[in-house]
């Protein structure tokens, strides 16, 4: 590097004149995809789409608009009952996104509370809570959802419950681990010296310092939950028909994949796009907030 006149030059010390600045550059693709789906889901009734439940048996298995036999009345074609696929995907986005966000919020709130409690109190409280967490993590989500579907019947609420009841454990573990490190730092001791009680330390000192991690985890898990919900719906243990949900739409098209591929393909693509977007966003958040979370 040619030394500028007057620049500091010491052997072994090579300071670039201007350090490259790391700007705040959120990734465009994930935000655009998520924004598009969220906007479409929220504005679904205003888009002038056909009723997602309206059956038209004469129009069944219409291929997408750009195909010879297709018509632009149904841009992505129709399913077995002649329902418009585009409309069902848009309405299905409501279900999938709501399930993803709601489940993750419930799970993260509960998991974070458990993690904070375990990490703060330590000792027996910690041991007990962590054993429960371990037990929860070893329980398969799909099995629980199937049990719920069989006993209580499949419903949106049951899907959210089944996933959240298992998913919180991951948050509990990650947050507890972080709280344990935070507890070693002097500002927690200093807060105690200043007369803060458990509630104050947990809410004012520990929780705010774990928010970055929580945000990363939440974003990464929304994608995971959308896939889980789709799997459950695919298996018939999720959102019951006729409510449009991406997983059950794929399942409905399964028998006709060779003749009417679009029925399964488009909801599948929707899942792929949304999950990919959430994962990319989560990756970016993780790199920005907390590079230590790489293994997640």
Partner 1 sequence: MSRPVVDVRDLHTHLVTRWGTVKAVDGVSFSVGEGETLGLVGESGSGKSMTCLSLLRLVPRPAARILGGQVWLDGEDLLAKSEAEMRKIRGRRIAMILQDPMSSLNPVFSIGMQMREAVALYHGLRGRGLAARAAELLAAVRIPSPAERLRAFPHQLSGGMRQRVVGAMAIAAPPRLLIADEPTTSLDLTIQAQYLGLLEELQERHRLALVFVTHNLGIVARICDRVAVMYAGRIVEMGPVRRLFTRPAHPYSRALLESIPRLGARAARLTAIEGQPPDLARLPAGCAFAPRCPSVMDRCRVETPPETVVEAGHVTRCWLEAPGAGAPAGGRPA
- Cβ-based nearer residue to partner 1, 54 or 189: 189
3-state DSSP assignment of residue 13: strand
Contact between 42 and partner 1 per CB under 8 A: no
- Cβ-based nearer residue to partner 1, 59 or 126: 126
Q: At its nearest, how many Å lie between partner 1 and the CB of residue 214?
A: 13
- Cβ-based nearer residue to partner 1, 39 or 189: 189
Task: Return the range that interacts with partner 1 (CB under 8 A); candidates 49-57, 63-71, 181-189, 235-243.
Answer: 181-189
Cβ(129)–Cβ(179) under 8 Å?
Answer: no
Which residue, among 61, 92, 93, has the nearest Cα to 259 in the 3D structure? 61
The pairs formed by 270-273 with CB atoms below 8 angstroms and a separation of 24 or more are: 270/37, 270/89, 270/92, 270/93, 270/96, 270/246, 271/96, 271/226, 271/227, 271/230, 271/246, 271/247, 273/33, 273/37
- Cβ-based nearer residue to partner 1, 23 or 197: 197
Q: At its nearest, how many Å lie between partner 1 and the CB of residue 24?
A: 16
Q: At its nearest, how many Å lie between partner 1 and the CB of residue 208?
A: 5
CA distance 235 to 2: 66
Q: At its nearest, how many Å lie between partner 1 and the CB of residue 209?
A: 6
Q: At its nearest, how many Å lie between partner 1 and the CB of residue 33?
A: 30
115-134 residues in contact with partner 1 (CB under 8 A) are 123
Cβ(79)–Cβ(262) under 8 Å?
Answer: no
Cβ(182)–Cβ(118) under 8 Å?
Answer: no
Binding mask 274-293 for partner 1 (x = CB under 8 A): --------------------
Contacts with partner 1: how many residues (CB under 8 A)? 18
189-248 residues in contact with partner 1 (CB under 8 A) are 189-197, 204-205, 208-209, 211
- Cβ-based nearer residue to partner 1, 39 or 211: 211
Q: Which residues pair with 78 in a beta bridge?
A: 84
Please calculate the CA angle 264-79-249 and round it to the nearest 5 degrees.
45
Question: What are the DSSP calls for 223-252, one per residue?
Answer: HHHHHHHHHHHHTTSSSPTTS--HHHHHHH
CA distance 114 to 72: 52
Supply the Cα-derived Rg of the chain in whole angstroms.
25
69-98 residues in contact with partner 1 (CB under 8 A) are none
Contact between 139 and partner 1 per CB under 8 A: no
Q: At its nearest, how many Å lie between partner 1 and the CB of residue 286?
A: 18
Contact between 187 and partner 1 per CB under 8 A: yes
- Cβ-based nearer residue to partner 1, 66 or 187: 187
CA distance 141 to 146: 9
Residue ranges binding partner 1 (CB under 8 A)? 123, 185-187, 189-197, 204-205, 208-209, 211
């Amino acid at each position: 590097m040619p030394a500028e006149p007057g620049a500091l030059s010491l052997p072994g010390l090579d300071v670039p004149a201007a350090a490259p600045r790391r700007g705040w550059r959120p990734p465009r693709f994930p935000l655009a995809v998520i924004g598009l789906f969220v906007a479409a889901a929220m504005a679904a009734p205003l888009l002038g789409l056909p009723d997602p439940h309206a059956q038209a048996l004469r129009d069944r298995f219409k291929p997408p608009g750009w195909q010879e036999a297709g018509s632009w009345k149904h841009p992505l074609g129709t399913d077995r009952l002649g329902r418009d696929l585009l409309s069902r995907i848009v309405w299905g986005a409501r279900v999938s996104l709501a399930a993803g966000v709601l489940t993750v919020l419930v799970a993260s709130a509960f998991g974070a509370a458990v993690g904070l409690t375990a990490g703060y109190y330590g000792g027996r409280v910690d041991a007990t809570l962590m054993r429960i967490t371990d037990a929860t993590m070893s329980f398969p989500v799909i099995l629980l959802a199937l049990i719920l579907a069989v006993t209580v019947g499949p419903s949106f609420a049951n899907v959210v419950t089944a996933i959240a009841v298992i998913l919180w454990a991951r948050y509990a573990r990650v947050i507890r681990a972080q709280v344990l490190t935070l507890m070693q730092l002097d500002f927690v001791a200093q807060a105690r010296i200043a007369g803060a009680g458990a509630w104050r330390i947990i809410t004012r000192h520990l929780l705010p310092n774990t928010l970055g991690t929580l945000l990363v985890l939440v974003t990464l898990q929304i994608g995971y939950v959308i896939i889980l919900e789709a799997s459950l719906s695919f298996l018939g243990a999720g959102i019951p028909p006729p409510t449009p949900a991406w997983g059950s739409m794929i399942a409905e098209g399964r028998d006709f994949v060779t003749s009417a591929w679009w029925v399964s393909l488009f909801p599948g693509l929707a899942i792929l796009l949304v999950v990919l977007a959430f994962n990319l966003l989560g990756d970016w958040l993780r790199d920005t907030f907390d590079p230590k979370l790489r293994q997640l």
